[in-house]
Amino acid sequence: MPDTLNLESDEFMTLLTDALRAGPASPEWRQAVKALRDTNQSMDEYTLLYTAREHLESGKDYRSVRAGPGFTRKVMAGVDDQSSGGTGVPTAGLIALLAAGAILVVVVIVGVMLLKGGGTSNPQQQAITELNATLFGNKVLTAAFNPPILPPEGWMTFGGLPLTVKVNELRSAAKAPTTNGSVATTSSMGGGYRAGGIVSTASLAAEQPIEIDVALRTAKLVEDGILQIFVSDEPIDEAHTSGSHALVWQLKGTEGRVFLADATAAPVAQRVPNWQKEYPIKLLLNRDAAVVQAGGKQLYAGGHKLSSDRPRYVGVRFLARPGERGDAVGVTSVTILKP
Amino acid sequence: MQRRAEKSTPSKSAAAGSKGPAAKTPVAAVKPPKVAAGDELEELQPAVLGKASDEDLMKRTQQGDKIAFSVLYERYSSSVLSYLYRMLGNLEDVESIGQEVFLRAFRFAPTYRYPQKFSTWLFTITRNLAINSSRRRKRSPVRNITELNLEGVDLSGDPYQVATRATDNVEKQEEIARVLKALEGLPTDQKEVIVLGVFQDLSYAQMEEITGTKAVTLRSRMFHGLKKLASMIGGPPREGRGGASSHRAEEVAPDADPAVDKEV
């Protein structure tokens, strides 16, 4: 008799185990015995096995037990209780149904939210993705301050706040004058500020994607004075130095923040460190969206709220109230690029 | 996915159960079935229901027919209780789990899917409850059941009573008792396949569905289990009735692998 079974391939062992399950006098039993005889295998090997199975058959009543009246009464009373008290739906089924319902509700809500949000955010998201993927390799205009000629070619100065060029940097005067010069007040800044800066003389079409790279050098930053890098969809001149409709990156004290063209502030601000030899600001724009990075980190990505058809002007503006120091930060270069 | 290598064979236990002593269960005491609105369930007498197949009775149970369920109970109560007694060996557990089996079968009747064999479905419930009970019993082995509501010819579970009824041949009686006693010492997975296949008369395909074990493995367990029982034939003669109890599991199954001795 084999010790190991290969039931996958051995037909006789399948026959044998069928016979052992079915028992003596069953067709499987007779078939197994016949197979043994046909193959001339020794019956002796299997005699004990068959005998054990026959003994089990004889002892089939072993531990045979049945329900007494008390047992049946209890079961049927339980069945009565269940059928009168329940709805027929098992508790587990009910819980599963409720859970499925809850999941369905959540899926529907999420779906609706996605559909609602999709109408406005998708084109903007697409515009941001496009901006980030665009390679801006062609210079449109640059402003370097070496040699110290003001204004650089392609730029014009504006405003009554005096500007200076020192060590290849454009700065506002160390102290804003208390008299003369045109008074520049901005709607967002409140009154009392004087403005001065440079702005591109030529406008850029709203359809034109652009990159504006500005390099700053910071000293010990103080609360006095403000620096703005802006893209305005209104011309900047002596009469309109504030540019009330512009996308702006602004530095006040040590806080850098983005303001959109509708004067709303972007939710995230950034701390600008003191004593930076070169602190980069980058603005990427196309018709609808902008990405603003400061110090290599993204500060804002989204709609800029500029007009989608009016031409745009790029500039740098210093603001200071009379008597304030405005020279803690200097601009070393401004570059406008297009793809 | 498990391989369905074999075809189900009709269970003889159902028919056997209906002829057993449990057929005396007072079915008429059960209230008439509630018939749901719009349901075309034909009201049948217990005598007619008694001829219906298990699966048809289960369909009626799903529609709230308690009489149909009581017929199923009649057919299977003895089979379920005996299975539990053979596997657990404790009558108190058999009674409490046996009740739970039938209450669950009624409560979860909507989860039964026609035409699955009712016996397979019922024994799956029974086996799961038996496994859970064994785990619980390990944690809290003390029970407080004072009254036993079961009946049977060998409630004591003594193999010699069975052997004596089986034959007048004393030598054979000895061997039968020894084999039955040895059954208790088999690894649980081998014992289970013999109890389900031999005593409950379930096919390998049904056992496969109930236990979740491949038929080829079940066949192997059947073969090796019976081989161990065969090794007990012609062993030392018993020294009186209590002598056979000296056959401990280690003696019965010297090559049993403890790793496969799962609790049931």
Please state whether the peptide bond connecting residue A147 to the residue before it is cis, i.e. omega within 30 degrees of 0.
yes
Q: Among A12-21, B90-99, B167-176, B189-198, which range has the highest average pLDDT?
A: B189-198
Nearby residues of A164 by Cβ (< 8 Å), 6 or more positions away:
A170, A171, A172, A173, A174, A327
- Cα dist from A238 to A179, A182, A225, A306, B41, whole Å: 17, 8, 20, 21, 95
Residue A301's SS3 state is: strand
- Chain B positions touching A75 (Cβ under 8 A) are 73, 77, 99, 102-103
A–B: how many Cβ contacts below 8 A?
195
Least confident of A15-19, A95-99, A245-249, B224-228: A95-99
Distance CA A195, CA B130 (A): 88
Does the beta carbon of B104 lie under 8 angstroms from any beta carbon of chain A? no
First to last CA, chain A: 86
**For A89-120, how does the pLDDT look when each residue is reduced to its tens digit (9 = 90+)?**
556 667 888 888 888 888 888 888 777 655 45
The b-or-e profile of A96-112 (16+ CB within 10 A means b, else e) is eeeeeeeeeeeeeeeee
Please state the rounded mean pLDDT for residues A82-86. Answer: 69
CA distances from B248 to B239, B251, B259 (A): 15, 5, 18
- What local confidence, expressed as pLDDT, does residue B72 receive? 94
How far is Cα A277 from Cα A223, in angstroms, rounded to an integer? 20
Whether B179 has its CB under 8 Å from any CB of chain A: the answer is yes
pLDDT 10s digits, A131-176: 888 888 888 999 988 767 778 889 998 888 888 888 788 888 767 6
| A147 lies within 8 A of chain B by CB | no
Q: Across residues B228-240, what is the average pLDDT?
A: 67
Query: Hey, what are A284's tokens?
Result: 């990427």
Whether A22 contacts A52, CB under 8 Å: no
- CB nearest B230 (choices: A14, A49, A75): A49
* pLDDT band at residue A247 under the 50/70/90 scheme: very high
Average pLDDT for chain B: 74
Q: Tell me if B111 and A90 make a contact (CB, 8 A cut-off).
A: yes
pTM of the model: 0.49
Give yes or no for a contact between A37 and A29, defined as CB atoms under 8 angstroms apart.
Answer: no
Work out the average pLDDT over A195-216: 92
pLDDT band at B240 (very low <50, low <70, confident <90, very high): very low
CB contact under 8 A, A65 and B163: no
Kindly report, residue by residue over A20-32, the tens digit of the pLDDT: 999 988 999 888 8
Q: Which residues of B touch A65 (CB under 8 A)?
A: 78, 81-82, 85, 91, 94, 150-152, 155
If phi > 0 it is left, if psi is from -120 to 50 it is alpha, else beta; for residue B250 that is alpha
Q: What is the pLDDT of residues B118-144, one digit of tens each?
A: 999 999 999 999 998 877 766 555 454
User: What residues contact residue A197 under an 8 Å CB cut-off, 6+ apart?
Assistant: A157, A158, A159, A161, A163, A228, A241, A315, A316, A317, A318
Least confident of A70-84, A177-191, B102-116, B139-153: A177-191
Do residues B79 and B34 make contact, with C-beta atoms less than 8 angstroms apart? no
Contacts of B78 in chain A (CB under 8 A): 64-67
pLDDT tops 70 at residue A62: yes
Range with the poorest average pLDDT among A169-178, B166-175, B210-219 = A169-178
Query: Which residues in chain A have their CB less than 8 angstroms from residue B158's CB?
Result: none
Q: Is B114 on the interface with A (CB under 8 A)?
A: no
Q: Report A:27-56 residues touching B (Cβ under 8 A).
A: 48-49, 51-53, 55-56
Tokens encoding B153: 């010819």
Taking an 8 Å cut-off on Cβ atoms, the answer to whether A13 and B21 are in contact is no
Q: Say yes or no to pLDDT of A186 above 70.
A: no
ipTM: 0.72
Residue A255 near residue A269 (C-beta atoms within 8 A): yes
The answer to whether the CB atoms of B219 and A69 lie below 8 A apart is no
Chain B residues inside the 8 Å CB shell of A23 = 198
User: Could you tell me if B23 lies within 8 Å of chain A, comparing CB atoms?
Assistant: no
Any B CB within 8 A of A339 CB = no
User: What is d(CA B112, CA A78) in angstroms, rounded to the nearest whole number?
Assistant: 19
Q: State the average pLDDT for chain A.
A: 82
Residue carrying the six token digits 């009016």: A310
Q: Please tell me the distance from the alpha carbon of residue A327 to that of residue A225, in angstroms, as a whole number.
A: 8
